[in-house]
């Protein structure tokens, strides 16, 4: 059973296939965390986490005197750590009471088990009838303020989710000034944290830092999860690697401002917190009102990063992504952006579709520039009316012309932003974020719409549905090309301006829910200047994300490698683009560009009418090969074999996807540097059957699975710059 309640010990134990998570109601009726790690037989594990000493200058709760004189919130491993009551470490919840005091002391009230996974009103979350939910209710010692802690248990994926609802049952308003969902206290020891930092066109670079007696903070205050940090971290043993050691993966199901922080305290305990960034956050909870915190998802693995990642991949594919496309084969597409930018008309697009169809492409996507007064990025956002002069007719006419070529038709939107030079801005300048008496900051010649206001969201919803109803549209790319500044909503009084960031996210999620529900047959792809909002929150609404605006295959090695720590291949938008590459001028073989794009959604980002016959034949071959291996690539077990961040001299990045039953695997190796007199190089394959024989790329020679996994597969070296090879491994 996934949830075990022991009333005698007052313990609550969550178990998955391989892990165990335990909490206990202690002698002061405080809910404390006792354990999260490898699965074991049941026992009350509080002996390891109880207060054993009197931390220097840490106060004792009033009711601990005479009961447990050593008790202090400063050492207790609280499941819900709160500010203002003597826990001076990182904490999750901060409540400003109606009398102005800052602090609450949650104590246990009760618990219940619910069949199926809980949901969160207005917020994305993992889902599934096969999951179980534990709800634990705590109440402040003094005031009628309740905290409902939700735990979702997905046994098969070793995934545990958490959320917190704060309920105000007092007769006066309170202010929630800190709303982090997760508090996780780890066993004493030394740990590292992996975070995934970056910048535009260099997202999710892997960085490993030791957790010391100071805070490590991973955060965004940009109004989106951002290119600069990702709302996912791994806390791990010092010697943990892909196959060995303890690793705790933590992902927030949220796309806005976030904070994930860790610190080692004076008694060598490590604490991790995660949730909404408390900077410029203050949310009023009215009498009888509630506030739902975003979900955090956790996976523990004692078999290193690889096993942790594969658990996340399955859970995200099957129980976070929704709709008809989450596990069905998606069409191979071509996007005209890098092929034409703003310089196109309908005839040009149709000519591209005509040539692309010959190569096996199935979907044509018209990117930016089709609407309003939009011949560059200085105008038009907010006016979602087709430019019929540029399109040489109606949008419906263009879609019909594309469909007549045997292609589906897709379209680009940027619904969250507005140009100053637009009819919408001239009619409603107050729709954009702008501080009183200040000129707003401009980025990409645009402002951000105030989605905390329902009338703004409704306006955009009505515009989008008018467009989507007007033509046969099969795909939508949803972009967001700047971050939020000048935060101020004219619809809220001064004392509620701290709610705007989160209300913006609620407005965005509301719009996404309405649009994706109304159009279940449209494939939606999220984008934010590429990978600036690649997170579990967006994946709940859209099953794929444009991984980066950097389409260079060699740069993509690191970008897609870092992304894979949490997110499955099926979510990564990846295209073959032209060379010299438009982002860095690198020239890479077309074969290598294809091999890298295979391990994503695979598409084209170029003007196919300008390709040579030889290049077209290569694209034809790639599309056939991609479709041949589609199920294996998209739904196989993913293994990172050699890191592009490694300091060794291999100069290879190698990864693999294998069938869960070990019957088939596909290995991709890309050489990202060159050297003279190259020695033979072998890579150990994973996920095969050790006692069965295999063929590689259909050759007559056979290899024992154990040999390929222990001695390795020899990587053949092609003598040119940036070579790559696919190795298809099948049972003999």
Mean pLDDT for 532-558 is 98
pLDDT in tens, 627-677: 999 999 999 999 999 999 987 767 899 999 999 999 999 999 999 988 887
Residue 147: is its pLDDT beyond 70?
Answer: yes
Q: Which of 589, 619, 635 is the last residue of a domain?
A: 635
Q: What are phi and psi of 319, to 5 degrees?
A: -130, 15
Mean pLDDT for 473-477 is 98
- Whether residue 433 contacts residue 486, with contact meaning beta carbons closer than 8 Å, is answered with yes
Indicate whether 294 and 348 sit together in one domain. Answer: no
Which token pair is 225? 């999860």
Q: Which of 43-52, 278-287, 319-328, 540-549 has the lowest mean pLDDT?
A: 43-52
Residue 124: is its pLDDT beyond 90?
Answer: yes
> Is residue 495 situated within a structural domain?
no
Element containing residue 250 per DSSP (H, E): strand 247-253
pLDDT in tens, 327-351: 999 999 999 999 999 999 999 999 9
> Is residue 452 situated within a structural domain?
no
Look at the block and give the residue holding tokens 């490694």: 646
Q: Which residues contact 506 (CB under 8 A, 6 or more apart)?
A: 122, 123, 452
Q: Are strands 174-186 and 295-301 parallel, antiparallel or unpaired?
A: unpaired
Q: Which of 287, 319, 351 is the last residue of a domain?
A: 319
Residue 714: is its pLDDT beyond 90?
Answer: yes
> Is residue 509 situated within a structural domain?
no
Q: Are strands 572-573 and 544-546 parallel, antiparallel or unpaired?
A: parallel
Q: What is the DSSP letter of 636?
A: S
Indicate whether 261 and 366 sit together in one domain. Answer: no
> Is residue 683 situated within a structural domain?
yes
Residue 267: is its pLDDT beyond 90?
Answer: no
Indicate whether 578 and 590 sit together in one domain. Answer: yes
> Is residue 489 situated within a structural domain?
no
- Whether residue 64 contacts residue 86, with contact meaning beta carbons closer than 8 Å, is answered with no
Q: How far apart are CA 148 and CA 161, in angstroms?
A: 14
- Whether residue 453 contacts residue 507, with contact meaning beta carbons closer than 8 Å, is answered with yes
β-bridge partners, 668 = 655, 726
> Is residue 213 situated within a structural domain?
yes
Q: How far apart are CA 87 and CA 106, in angstroms?
A: 13
Mean pLDDT for 141-169 is 98
Mean pLDDT for 469-474 is 98
Q: Which CATH number fits the domain that encloses residue 696?
A: 2.60.40.1180
What number of CA atoms fall less than 13 Å from residue 688's CA on the CB side? 30
Helices assigned H by DSSP within 226-345: 304-319, 337-340
Tell me which residue of 731, 661, 657 sits closest to 694, measured CA to CA.
731
Q: Which CATH number fits the domain that encloses residue 249?
A: 2.70.98.60
Measured from the Cβ of residue 279, the count of other Cβ atoms closer than 10 Å reads 11
Note the pLDDT of residue 55.
Answer: 62
Start-to-end C-alpha separation, the chain: 40
- Whether residue 464 contacts residue 384, with contact meaning beta carbons closer than 8 Å, is answered with yes
Which token pair is 285? 């909870």
- Whether residue 336 contacts residue 365, with contact meaning beta carbons closer than 8 Å, is answered with yes
Q: Which of 615, 635, 655 is the last residue of a domain?
A: 635
Residue 52's pLDDT band, with cuts at 50, 70 and 90, is low
Note the pLDDT of residue 563.
Answer: 98
Residue 53's pLDDT band, with cuts at 50, 70 and 90, is low
β-bridge partners, 199 = 202
Tell me which residue of 175, 113, 181, 191 sits closest to 143, measured CA to CA.
175
Residue 188's pLDDT band, with cuts at 50, 70 and 90, is confident
C-alpha radius of gyration, the chain, whole number: 27
pLDDT in tens, 668-696: 999 998 888 778 889 999 999 999 999 99
Residue 62: is its pLDDT beyond 70?
Answer: yes
Indicate whether 65 and 212 sit together in one domain. Answer: yes
Percentage of the chain surpassing pLDDT 70?
A: 99
Indicate whether 180 and 315 sit together in one domain. Answer: yes
pLDDT in tens, 69-117: 788 898 889 999 999 999 999 999 999 999 999 999 999 999 999 999 9
Full residue range of the structural domain in which residue 200 is found: 3-319
Measured from the Cβ of residue 660, the count of other Cβ atoms closer than 10 Å reads 11
Note the pLDDT of residue 508.
Answer: 98
Indicate whether 194 and 273 sit together in one domain. Answer: yes
Note the pLDDT of residue 610.
Answer: 97
Residue 514: is its pLDDT beyond 70?
Answer: yes
Note the pLDDT of residue 484.
Answer: 97
Mean pLDDT for 272-276 is 98
State the total domains in the chain.
3
Note the pLDDT of residue 49.
Answer: 74
Indicate whether 224 and 132 sit together in one domain. Answer: yes
Note the pLDDT of residue 253.
Answer: 98
Q: Which residues contact 161 (CB under 8 A, 6 or more apart)?
A: 117, 125, 126, 150, 151, 152, 154, 253, 295, 296, 297, 298
Indicate whether 215 and 148 sit together in one domain. Answer: yes
Q: Which residues contact 517 (CB under 8 A, 6 or more apart)?
A: none
Q: How far apart are CA 323 and CA 301, in angstroms?
A: 29
Look at the block and give the residue holding tokens 């379209």: 411
Indicate whether 261 and 373 sit together in one domain. Answer: no
Q: Which residues contact 193 (CB under 8 A, 6 or more apart)?
A: 208, 209, 210, 211, 216, 218, 233, 234, 235, 236, 262
Q: Which CATH number fits the domain that encloses residue 616?
A: 3.20.20.70
> Is residue 230 situated within a structural domain?
yes
Note the pLDDT of residue 719.
Answer: 82
Active site residues: 535, 615
Note the pLDDT of residue 54.
Answer: 64
> Is residue 445 situated within a structural domain?
no
Q: How far apart are CA 148 and CA 139, in angstroms?
A: 9
pLDDT in tens, 482-503: 999 999 999 999 999 999 999 9
Tell me which residue of 652, 648, 528 sits closest to 592, measured CA to CA.
652
- Helix, coil or strand: residue 708: helix
Average pLDDT, the chain: 96
Mean pLDDT for 150-156 is 98
Q: How far apart are CA 687 and CA 366, in angstroms?
A: 40
Indicate whether 289 and 172 sit together in one domain. Answer: yes
Indicate whether 540 and 678 sit together in one domain. Answer: no
Burial of residue 140, with CB atoms counted within 10 A of its CB: 0-12 exposed, 13-18 middle, 19 or more buried:
buried
Indicate whether 261 and 364 sit together in one domain. Answer: no
Q: Which residues contact 673 (CB under 8 A, 6 or more apart)?
A: 651
Residue 720's pLDDT band, with cuts at 50, 70 and 90, is confident
- Helices 553-563 and 590-598 pack at an angle, to 10 degrees, of 10
Residue 67: is its pLDDT beyond 80?
Answer: no
Residue 706: is its pLDDT beyond 70?
Answer: yes
């Amino acid at each position: 059973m996934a949830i075990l309640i022991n009333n005698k010990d007052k313990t609550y134990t969550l178990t998955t296939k391989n892990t165990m998570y335990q909490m206990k109601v202690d002698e002061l009726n405080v809910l404390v965390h006792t354990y999260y790690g490898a699965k074991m037989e049941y026992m009350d594990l509080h002996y390891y986490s109880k207060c054993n000493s009197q931390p220097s200058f840490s106060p004792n709760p009033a009711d601990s005197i005479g009961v447990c004189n050593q008790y202090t919130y400063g050492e207790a491993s609280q499941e819900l750590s709160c500010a203002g009551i003597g826990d001076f470490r990182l904490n999750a919840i901060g409540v400003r009471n109606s009398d102005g005091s800052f602090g609450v002391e949650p104590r246990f009230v009760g618990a219940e088990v619910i069949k199926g996974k809980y949901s969160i009103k207005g917020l994305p979350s993992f889902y599934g009838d096969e999951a179980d939910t534990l709800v634990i209710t705590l109440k402040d010692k003094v005031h009628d303020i309740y905290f409902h802690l939700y735990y979702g248990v997905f046994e098969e994926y070793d995934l545990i989710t958490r959320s917190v609802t704060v309920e105000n049952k007092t007769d006066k308003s309170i202010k929630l000034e800190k709303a982090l969902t997760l508090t996780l206290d780890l066993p004493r020891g030394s740990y590292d944290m992996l975070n995934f930092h970056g910048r535009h066109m260099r997202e999710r670079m892997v960085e490993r830092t030791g957790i010391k007696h100071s805070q490590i903070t991973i955060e965004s205050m940009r109004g989106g999860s951002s290119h600069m940090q990702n709302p996912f971290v791994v806390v791990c043993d010092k010697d943990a690697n892909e196959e060995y050691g303890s690793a705790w993966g933590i992902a927030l199901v949220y796309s806005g401002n976030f904070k994930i922080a860790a610190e080692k305290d004076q008694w060598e305990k490590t604490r991790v917190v995660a949730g909404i960034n408390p900077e410029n956050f203050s949310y009023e909870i009215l009498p009888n009102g509630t506030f739902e915190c975003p979900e955090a998802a956790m996976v523990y693995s004692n078999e290193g990063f690889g096993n942790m990642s594969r658990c996340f991949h399955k859970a995200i594919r099957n129980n976070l992504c929704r709709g008809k496309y989450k596990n069905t084969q998606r069409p191979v597409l071509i996007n005209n952006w890098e092929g034409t930018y703003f310089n196109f008309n309908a005839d040009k697009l149709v000519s591209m579709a005509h040539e692309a169809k010959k190569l096996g492409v199935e979907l044509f996507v018209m990117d930016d520039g089709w609407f309003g007064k939009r011949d560059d990025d200085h105008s038009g956002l907010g006016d979602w009316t087709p430019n019929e002069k540029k399109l040489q007719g109606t949008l419906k006419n263009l879609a019909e012309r594309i469909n007549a070529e045997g292609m589906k038709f897709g379209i680009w939107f940027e619904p969250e932003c507005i140009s100053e030079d637009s009819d919408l801005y001239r009619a409603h300048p107050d729709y954009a974020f702008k501080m009183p008496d200040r000129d707003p900051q401009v980025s990409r010649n645009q402002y951000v719409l105030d989605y905390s206001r329902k009338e703004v969201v409704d306006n955009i919803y009505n515009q989008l549905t008018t467009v989507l109803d007007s033509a046969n549209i099969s795909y939508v790319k949803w972009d967001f090309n700047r971050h939020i500044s000048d935060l101020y909503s004219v619809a809220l009084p001064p004392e509620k301006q701290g709610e705007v960031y989160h209300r913006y996210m609620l407005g965005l999620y509301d719009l996404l829910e309405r649009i994706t529900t109304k159009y279940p047959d449209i494939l939606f792809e999220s984008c934010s200047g590429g990978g600036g909002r690649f997170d579990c929150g967006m994946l709940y609404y859209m099953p794929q994300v444009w991984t980066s605006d950097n389409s260079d295959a060699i740069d993509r090695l690191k970008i897609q490698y870092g992304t894979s720590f949490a997110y499955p291949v099926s979510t990564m938008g990846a295209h073959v683009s032209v060379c010299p590459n438009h982002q860095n001028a690198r020239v890479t073989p077309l074969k290598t560009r294809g091999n890298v794009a295979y391990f994503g959604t695979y598409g084209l980002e170029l003007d196919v009418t300008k390709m040579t016959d030889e290049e077209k034949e290569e694209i034809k071959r790639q599309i056939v090969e991609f479709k041949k291996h589609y199920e294996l690539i998209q739904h196989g077990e993913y293994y990172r074999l050699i890191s592009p961040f490694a300091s060794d001299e291999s100069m290879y990045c190698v990864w693999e996807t294998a069938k869960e039953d070990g019957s088939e695997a596909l290995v991709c190796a890309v050489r990202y540097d060159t050297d003279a007199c190259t020695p033979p190089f072998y890579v150990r394959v994973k996920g095969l059957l050790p006692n069965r024989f295999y063929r590689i790329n259909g050759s007559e020679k056979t290899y024992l699975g154990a040999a390929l996994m222990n001695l390795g597969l020899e990587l053949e070296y092609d003598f040119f710059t940036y070579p790559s090879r696919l190795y298809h491994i099948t049972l003999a």
